[in-house]
Chains A and B, each alone.
Chain A
Amino acid sequence: MRGTNRVALSGTLLELGRLRYTPAGVPVIDFRLRHESRRTEAGAERAVSAEFEAIAFEVQANLVSGAAPGSALRLEGFLCAKSRRSKKLVLHATHIEFVEGD
């Protein structure tokens, strides 16, 4: 795998799509994530706030589909354009962990 595209992010679950299946039968779920943290930048600490569109497949999809909005989670994955026609980024979650009261 050439090139770097790695994201690690924590956040809370905002919205959850319905668990759906690809034509070949692979479970998929679309969801939104809210991230809030403090980061150091240019010598100062600042507040960071962002919302992400995310997607998960297979085991990860099943895992997310069982969670309630507001749940805290940490995920790892990569970024990819939504489709050929849209440059919007979507976070593809390849690893998801639920965390207690972060």
Chain B
Amino acid sequence: MKFLRVALDVPLANLFDYTLPPGLSAQAGDRVLVPFGTRRRVGVVVETAAETAIEAERLKPIARVLDDAPRLPRDWLELMRFLAGYYQRPLGETVASSLPPRLRSLRELPRATERHYRAAGSAPGAETLKSGWKRSLLDALGAGCLAEDALLAPFGARRAAARTALRALLRAGWVERALPESGTRFQPSHAPSAAQDAAIERVAQALGQFRPFLLHGVTGSGKTEVYLQLVARVLARGGQALVLVPEISLTPQLEARFRHAFPDTRLALLHSALEDGARTSAWLEAARGEAGIVLGTRLAVLTPLPRLALVVVDEEHDASFKQQEGLRYSGRDAAVYRAKLASCPAVLGTATPSLETWYNCQAGRYALLELPARASPGSVLPRVRTIDLRRESPEQGLAPSLVAAIQARLERGEQSLVFINRRGYAPVLACEACGWTAGCERCSARMVLHAADRRLRCHHCGAESAIARACPTCGNVDLTALGRGTQRVEETLAERFPQARIVRIDRDSARRRAQLAEALAGIRRGEADILVGTQLLAKGHDFPALTLVGVLNADSALVSTDYRAPERLFATLAQVAGRAGRRERPGEVLVQTRYPGHPLYAALARHDYAGFAAAQLAERRAAGFPPYVSEAALGAEAKQLARAMQFLRAAATLVAPPEEVRIYDPVPAILTRRAGLERARLLVQSPSRSALQEFLRAWSERLFAVAPRDVRWHLDVDPIEFD
């Protein structure tokens, strides 16, 4: 007797056993319709088994096998097992959350694109066919690839016979299935430089085998061109390429480059902001092997790709590759694992590698490819200087020399960018008469003042309120906005430069993707003089006329307690600095700071990522932080902090850790209250990843078993956020 283990989208940790009724056949990877309680659900057969622990009378048969999508392939199921195991989540939940919702519903899926055929490249013996059905079919395909319908239509009433002949040709290998519109025509925008060429060749030599590469290229060095050239080679070999980008906002630009470079290739776009229908179609195109290129954010890594031959992760250092809920996977690490399963190269590209990746390179696990110079003719890296705020006192947050530099750009008709990583008008609304500040009722955080629509917003839980007319404690009406965000900087610049066209880009100005794309296109066309923005403006964009970047408020990250803060700050500043001077006109970067001698700024000015990384790694090694140890964090949220702490203290004693694994004392989160819940966390470390994994397996099993109802908890493996 054969039993099917089925993953279902239900909040239970286990798989569910079903029997296979006579007349049906199913195997691992099939989507099946099963009775569950009083309802029917769609699940995925994860494995078949010869035995079951369930009593025979309680076992039910599956109702149906769904075949409107390809069977989920073996390597995909393998990826699911790895992710569920490594990140300590139930396999059923992992499988269910990795599929687009439509694949888990009873609604029928859109049909596959019609079959296409082409004459095989080499067909020994085909020339002996002088006439007949087969000869006619081969002649028809001589002109190129045809859809089945178009190929058989001329045969009219004798279509059935023609179809039989077609099958025979397929069996003989003289005709093969082709992908519609899957031309592999490649239009490179320019010839690669020597450095690009060297990188392309090294990856190309590894095609067909697993090999991770770090493509370390300075900003503007043409990493995308390397991706395009590699994708072209992969398409020519009949493979699929998976390209991951950190943010949805970056996809339109990259999508345009890919579509331009591969005008005949099907490209499937996958990200979380897609409508259900669009996401389902893109997923199906990828899974059916119709799309040659799959471009998307981290969730795209979870798509089945039958012919996967290249994995690219752009801006691999970006924190948004780590999912922060449910299955807390790293899209980058999952991508490397996928490349391993598919025996293909993985290319991680960035100007500022994550220290984990850099460390992997130094340990020889990843091969290093360097693009040390900018690609555009005449373009050099920008000159980076600090402005000492102790000597130059800023007016409304802007140092006089920064204002003068903007003025000079306006006179020359060049663009300036003022970068401040804080949206809103001001981070604090205060009463100077009594000391009150506007706080969020549900978080241990202050409400941020938004001037455009006169609201207070909590950036942690999204709570909103009207701005108090008077201080709720003392009644003072003359409340003060302290500090500054993008809106206030925009206001200040508008007062100082009334003639300038100022564009602000942050999550508030670009709530919808289309708005952002439009604003960015406008900037590229030169329809703005001064840009004010958050990190939304920092990444990946290419603004030809931009020659000045001013950085405000960077120091706050230097005094953070998070040991990853300097790494992030360096990456952000190198990224935003990289927007300046990407063409012939040289760029300049001015960083306002009270610590002009800080080594981080010095490394930034030298464009010395390697030096910065070496210093950071030395500190991490000395302090016993990742990548020298592996970490997991158990987070707990409860109505009362004491309850969360109590839960964590009890959790720490559930399983005795082996010698190499160390459990730290629980500590309240820095942002102790968020959205009405109080939070604490407990850190587990080990110099051995496998020892930690083994402990986590036993531990999470116990945690799932004892979890109390009044505490929300999650286990985060390789955590990167400690807020």
- Name A residues whose Cβ lies closer than 8 Å to a Cβ of B: 22-26, 28, 55, 57, 80-81, 83-85
Number of interface residues of B (CB under 8 A): 19
Assess whether B468 is in contact with A24, with CB atoms less than 8 Å apart. yes
Assess whether B481 is in contact with A23, with CB atoms less than 8 Å apart. yes
- B432, B454, B478: which contacts A25 (Cβ < 8 A)? B454
B519 sits at the interface (CB 8 A): no
- Once A83-B433, A84-B433, A84-B435 are accepted as A-B contacts, the answer to whether A23 and B449 lie under 8 Å apart by CB is yes
Assess whether B469 is in contact with A55, with CB atoms less than 8 Å apart. no
Inter-chain CA distance A80–B451, complex, in Å, is 28
Q: How many A-B residue pairs have CB under 8 A?
A: 39
Please name all residues of chain B whose beta carbon is closer than 8 Å to the beta carbon of A22 when the two chains form the complex.
469, 477-479
- Name B residues whose Cβ lies closer than 8 Å to a Cβ of A: 425-426, 429, 432-435, 449, 451, 454, 466-469, 477-481
Inter-chain CA distance A2–B664, complex, in Å, is 56
- Once A24-B467, A26-B469 are accepted as A-B contacts, the answer to whether A81 and B481 lie under 8 Å apart by CB is no
Identity of the chain A residue whose Cβ is nearest the Cβ of B432 in the assembled complex: A83
Assess whether B479 is in contact with A24, with CB atoms less than 8 Å apart. yes
Inter-chain CA distance A80–B432, complex, in Å, is 12
Q: Which 4 A-B pairs have the closest CB atoms?
A: A83-B432, A24-B467, A24-B469, A23-B467
| Chain A binding surface, main DSSP class | loop
Most buried by A among B425, B429, B454, B477: B477
| Chain B binding surface, main DSSP class | loop
Please name all residues of chain B whose beta carbon is closer than 8 Å to the beta carbon of A57 when the two chains form the complex.
477-478
Inter-chain CA distance A63–B432, complex, in Å, is 25
Assess whether A23 is in contact with B451, with CB atoms less than 8 Å apart. yes
Assess whether B479 is in contact with A23, with CB atoms less than 8 Å apart. yes
Identity of the chain A residue whose Cβ is nearest the Cβ of B426 in the assembled complex: A23
Assess whether A23 is in contact with B429, with CB atoms less than 8 Å apart. yes
What are 20 contact pairs spanning A and B, CB under 8 A?
A22-B469, A22-B478, A23-B425, A23-B426, A23-B429, A23-B451, A23-B454, A23-B467, A23-B479, A23-B481, A24-B468, A24-B469, A24-B479, A28-B477, A57-B477, A57-B478, A83-B432, A83-B433, A84-B434, A85-B432
Other A-B contacts than A25-B467, A84-B433, 17 sampled, CB-CB below 8 A, are: A22-B469, A22-B479, A23-B429, A23-B451, A23-B454, A23-B479, A24-B454, A24-B469, A25-B454, A26-B469, A28-B477, A28-B478, A57-B477, A57-B478, A83-B432, A83-B433, A85-B432
Identity of the chain A residue whose Cβ is nearest the Cβ of B466 in the assembled complex: A24
Identity of the chain A residue whose Cβ is nearest the Cβ of B434 in the assembled complex: A84
Inter-chain CA distance A89–B552, complex, in Å, is 35
Inter-chain CA distance A28–B469, complex, in Å, is 12
Please name all residues of chain B whose beta carbon is closer than 8 Å to the beta carbon of A83 when the two chains form the complex.
432-433
Please name all residues of chain A whose beta carbon is closer than 8 Å to the beta carbon of B449 when the two chains form the complex.
23
Inter-chain CA distance A83–B482, complex, in Å, is 14
Inter-chain CA distance A22–B480, complex, in Å, is 7
Identity of the chain A residue whose Cβ is nearest the Cβ of B476 in the assembled complex: A80
Q: How far is the CB of A77 from chain B (nearest CB, A)?
A: 14
- Once A81-B433, A84-B435 are accepted as A-B contacts, the answer to whether A55 and B478 lie under 8 Å apart by CB is yes
Please name all residues of chain B whose beta carbon is closer than 8 Å to the beta carbon of A84 when the two chains form the complex.
432-435
